[in-house]
C-alpha cells in the first residue's frame, strides 16, 4: 500500500511538470524532487522518463473515462448522449487544464509502440456509444461507426477548443450537438461503399 502512495506522489509531480514544462524539459530528478523524494526512488517505480510519461498518459485516460462515465451512462437518446459527452469533455478540460493536450501532443513526439493512443481510444469508445442509436434507427444508414467515431474526435475536440477560448459553454454544446445530429441523421447512403460496421 505504501508503495502505491509513493508512486501516486511521483505521478502527481510528473503530471504537474509534464503539463507545465513539457516532456523534454522534465527530468526524473525534477519529478522526484517535486514529489519530496530522493532521485533514486523514481527508478524504483519507473524504468525511465518515458515509462513515467506513459503511466501519466494512461492515468489521464482512466481519469477522463471515470469523469465521463456517469454523465453518458444516464443519457437517454442520441441528443442526450452527445450533449453529455461534449459537456463532460469541456468540463474535464476546464478542471484539468493542459492534461489532455499534453498527453496527446507529447505522445506523438515520443511515439513508442506501447503508447496509449488516446484519440483511437476515444474514437472506439464513442463509436460503441453510437451503436445503440444506430440499432434504434436514430442514425442514418450507410455509416461506418468506426470512421464516425474518429470524425467525432476531431469535431468534439474543436468544440472543446472553442470553449477553452472563451465561447459560451451552452452555446458550444448546442452547436456541436446540432451539427453532429444533423450529420448523423442526414442522407441515407450518401456515398458508395459505405458500411455500418461497428467496433469489433
8-42 per-residue burial string, b: 16 or more CB within 10 A, e: under 16: ebbbebbbbbbbeeebeebebebbbebbebeeebb
Q: Which fold has domain 57-200?
A: Tetracycline Repressor; domain 2 (1.10.357)
> Distance (Å, rounded) from C-alpha 61 to C-alpha 59?
5
The cell numbers describing 2, all together, are: 505504501
Q: What is the pLDDT of residue 189?
A: 45
What is the CATH T-level fold of the domain 1-46, as seen in this structure?
Arc Repressor Mutant, subunit A (1.10.10)
Domain boundaries, the chain: 1-46, 57-200
d(CA 45, CA 51): 9
pTM of the model: 0.85
pLDDT at 3: 55
Residue 59: the pLDDT is 95
What is the block-wise mean pLDDT of the chain (200 residues), using blocks of 10 residues? 82 98 95 97 95 94 95 88 95 96 84 75 89 85 90 94 96 96 71 42
CA neighbor of 126 nearest in space, from 91, 96, 81: 81
pLDDT of 108: 73
What does the chain come to in residues?
Answer: 200
Report helix angle 78-95 to 49-73, nearest 10. Answer: 140
Check residue 114 and give its pLDDT.
61
By C-alpha distance, which of 60, 71, 85 is closest to 155? 85
Residue 194: its pLDDT value, please?
44
What's the pLDDT at 112? 62
Amino acid at each position: 500500500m505504501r508503495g502505491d502512495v509513493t508512486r501516486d506522489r511521483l505521478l502527481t509531480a510528473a503530471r504537474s511538470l509534464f503539463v507545465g514544462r513539457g516532456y523534454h524539459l522534465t527530468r526524473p530528478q525534477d519529478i522526484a524532487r517535486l514529489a519530496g523524494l530522493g532521485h533514486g526512488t523514481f527508478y524504483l517505480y519507473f524504468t525511465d522518463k518515458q515509462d513515467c510519461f506513459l503511466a501519466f498518459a494512461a492515468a489521464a485516460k482512466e481519469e477522463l473515462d471515470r469523469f465521463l462515465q456517469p454523465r453518458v451512462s444516464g443519457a437517454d437518446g442520441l441528443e442526450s448522449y452527445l450533449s453529455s459527452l461534449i459537456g463532460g469533455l469541456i468540463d474535464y478540460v476546464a478542471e484539468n487544464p493542459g492534461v489532455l493536450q499534453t498527453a496527446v501532443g507529447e505522445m506523438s513526439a515520443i511515439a513508442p509502440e506501447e503508447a496509449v493512443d488516446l484519440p483511437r481510444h476515444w474514437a472506439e469508445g464513442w463509436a460503441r456509444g453510437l451503436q445503440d442509436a444506430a440499432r434504434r434507427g436514430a442514425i442514418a444508414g450507410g455509416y461506418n461507426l468506426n470512421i464516425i467515431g474518429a470524425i467525432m474526435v476531431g469535431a468534439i475536440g474543436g468544440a472543446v477548443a472553442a470553449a477553452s477560448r472563451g465561447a459560451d459553454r451552452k452555446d458550444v454544446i448546442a452547436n456541436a450537438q446540432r451539427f453532429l445530429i444533423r450529420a448523423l441523421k442526414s442522407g441515407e447512403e450518401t456515398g458508395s461503399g459505405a458500411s455500418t460496421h461497428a467496433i469489433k
